[in-house]
Amino acid sequence: MDAFLPLLLEIWTTACRHVELPEALARITPLLCSRLPADLVLVRQFDRSACRVETVAAGPANEIVPPLLKRSDCRQDEMEGLLAWCQPTRIVRADSREVARTLPGLLPEGMSGQVLAGPLHRETEPVGLLVLSAAPGRFAPQHEPLFRALLDPLAAALENDRRHRELSSLKEAVEADNRSLLSRLGRQDISDTIVGAESGLARVVERIELVAQSDAPVLILGETGSGKEVVARAIHQSSRRASGPFVRVNCGAIPPELLDSQLFGHERGSFTGATDTRKGWFERADGGTLLLDEIGELTPAAQVRFLRILQDGSFERVGGQRPMKVNVRVVAATHRDLKAMVAAGSFREDLWYRIAIFPVRIPPLRERLADIPALSSHFALRAARRLGNPPLVPTPEDNSLLAAYPWPGNVRELSAVMERAAILGSGRRLEVAQALGTDLTLSSGAGEAVESRPAPGAPDRPFATLDKAMSRHIEAALDRCRGRVEGTYGAARLLGINPNTLRGRMRKLGIDTKRFRRGGPG
């Protein structure tokens, strides 16, 4: 054994230096194959609860891994017999067919030739196996002492790998909890309360309550900015998974070449730049809810893999060979017409049936104008807190202006308008008209006030209707811009609205640009 001491010292050093078993075995294999005639080195691990033996690392001497089944499923009596064989430490040197017959589960299916195998222990408990394979007749009795000496450093490498995975799992669980907590704290003002739950979103809330306690996939349909993520969070918080992570992924923001890695994770070295093993979004959402936003942007190849994980919950990391399972509730969201995409062949029909088990449609803001007073007050108070301003809410006149706006950006746009109104008001008032681009205090081109706010205590006077005030204000902008609607010097830019929106209002109010056009530049 003295002749083996330098080799064993180097193997011990390598096993302790590299905590991930595949990397450790890749470095150890050339060392032990310099003294043992092995073609393949396997480390296998016992999974007692599942009655299974699984290959967790392989070190081929010739850098070619033969086609072997990584997992060996055993009967209960076969598992008990294999564990009993491991106590005390024994070594088997025999033909692979004989070993497979006498010790089912010890070898992976497909292995041939001669094998040299022995158990790996954690303290006194058998936790795995070291298996060497070679051509028939190559292993001899003089190889057994060195093989026996290898069991301890390989058992240490297996234990290091187990502890590393446990620590990584605990770390990611803590990080997921922290993200979930920070997310709830950061979004408490929108996610804990659905504004409009008793009016415009009453039907949506009913469907949330119906589906929340099940694990059925949910498809949320709605225009951009309508509040799909808020509804998804409400489903998560009302479910049995509320204590688990809530993970949101925007499918449209992930480059197609990185989509598999982001969703399913990757193994170290699986592609250029993969310097570490990384868990994908499905693993990170294990035990919780995964929101796949803009699912209509998934590539056809990703749709196939996504369909598989919906069917049986299993997947493989990029570059991995071990099937993995997760327990995730999937909520998909999109603003696109998936039925039309199915008809056009750009979205898989079988995937559509899987995710559309329980659709929830969120109406756009223009279809629930009754929610605007509550939403505008909600966003105004939130803006005041963020800006450190006194709490202010919109007036009835402000809400009338808001109700007259078409809201192409839905609730998200309303939130931005209210924050802009709070900034423009400098904490003294909400400049809603100015934030919308319809400030009624601006003067016309002739220098006459279109409409001014009465001073407190001033006597009542005729008050212009909203349409009349908007008509005057648009005419003033057109007069200043010489009838030009769009462009750098157009009225739409001056008013801060989309040119098409401005033209629509002009048609409604009967405003003709021809009477404002006159000579000169612009």
Distance from C-alpha of 412 to C-alpha of 67, rounded to nearest angstrom:
54
Task: Find, among 443, 435, 428, 512, the residue nearest to 477 by Cα.
Answer: 443
3-state secondary structure of 123: coil
pLDDT band with cut points at 50, 70 and 90 for residue 110: confident
What token pair was written down for 366? 């223009």
Q: Are 156 and 61 in contact (CB under 8 A)?
A: no
Q: Are 372 and 365 in contact (CB under 8 A)?
A: yes
- In this prediction, residue 199 carries a pLDDT of 73
Task: Find, among 196, 190, 191, 194, the residue nearest to 370 by Cα.
Answer: 196
Q: CB-side exposure of 263: number of CA atoms within 13 Å?
A: 32
CATH code reported for the domain at 367-516: 1.10.8.60
Task: Find, among 53, 59, 63, 67, the residue nearest to 22 by Cα.
Answer: 59
pLDDT band with cut points at 50, 70 and 90 for residue 463: low
- In this prediction, residue 153 carries a pLDDT of 92
**Pick among 3.60.15.10, 2.70.98.10, 3.40.50.300, 3.90.110.10: CATH of 187-363:** 3.40.50.300
Q: CB-side exposure of 437: number of CA atoms within 13 Å?
A: 16
Distance from C-alpha of 227 to C-alpha of 206, rounded to nearest angstrom:
16
pTM: predicted TM-score of the whole model, two decimal places: 0.49
What token pair was written down for 237? 């918080």
- In this prediction, residue 477 carries a pLDDT of 83
Q: Whole-number mean pLDDT of the chain?
A: 81
Query: What are 69-104's pLDDT values in tens digits?
Result: 678 888 899 999 999 999 877 899 999 999 999 999
Domain coordinates in residue numbering, the chain: 2-164, 187-363, 367-516
Q: Are 89 and 124 in contact (CB under 8 A)?
A: no
Query: Which burial class, exposed, middle or buried, applies to 348 when counting CB atoms under 10 A from its CB (0-12, 13-18, 19+)?
Result: middle
- The C-alpha angle with vertex 340 and arms to 215 and 328, in degrees rounded to 5, equals 20
Q: Are 191 and 233 in contact (CB under 8 A)?
A: yes
- In this prediction, residue 1 carries a pLDDT of 54
Give the highest mean pLDDT range of 46-50, 278-282, 397-401: 397-401
Stretch 269-298: mean pLDDT: 81
- In this prediction, residue 92 carries a pLDDT of 93
Distance from C-alpha of 413 to C-alpha of 365, rounded to nearest angstrom:
10
Among the residue ranges 42-46, 154-158, 340-344, 446-450, the one predicted with the least confidence is 446-450
pLDDT band with cut points at 50, 70 and 90 for residue 178: low
What token pair was written down for 182? 């920070």
Q: Using the predicted structure, report yes or no on whether residue 197 has a pLDDT greater than 80.
A: no
What is the third-level CATH fold of 2-164?
Answer: Beta-Lactamase (3.30.450)
3-state secondary structure of 125: strand
What token pair was written down for 444? 């016309």
List residues bridging with 122 in a β-sheet. Answer: 125
Among the residue ranges 150-154, 347-351, 517-521, the one predicted with the least confidence is 517-521
447 vs 379, residue with greater confidence: 379
What token pair was written down for 300? 């056809």
